[in-house]
Amino acid sequence: MISVLSNIQDDICNYADAISGITGTDVEIIDESLMRIAGTGKYRHMLNENVAKNGYIYRHVLQVRETVLIKNPGEHPLCQLCEKHHYCSEMLDLNAPIFS
């Protein structure tokens, strides 16, 4: 099944670019099936990839339906099952659910 965000992927990519331009950070937007719909910076070439393998934080945010700020990626309890938690390249991780 194609997600609502997939149906408007071009608009979502423009939105991600705008957020990235304002914040000066890389942005990625993941849908409810954990597919990367949009991305900037290092994520731009990884559109339409499934991030479920290491998407523990995304999965949690979608489940609890609340914004999660992780100041210590790789060390945070939500990161412990991720295969990259010992060498996480993220400096800060802010995840917010999008509801339709």
45 plus 62 within the same structural domain: no
C-beta neighbour count of 61 within 10 angstroms: 20
Q: What is the pTM of this model?
A: 0.89
59 plus 99 within the same structural domain: yes
8 plus 29 within the same structural domain: yes
66 plus 34 within the same structural domain: no
The total of structural domains in the chain comes to 2
pLDDT band at 13 (very low <50, low <70, confident <90, very high): very high
- Look at residue 100 in the predicted model and tell me its pLDDT: 59
**Is residue 9 within 8 Å of 31, Cβ to Cβ?**
no
Q: pLDDT tens digit string along 43-52? A: 999 999 999 9
For the ranges 26-30, 48-52, 83-87, which has the lowest average pLDDT?
83-87
Residue 23 to residue 31: CA distance in whole angstroms: 21
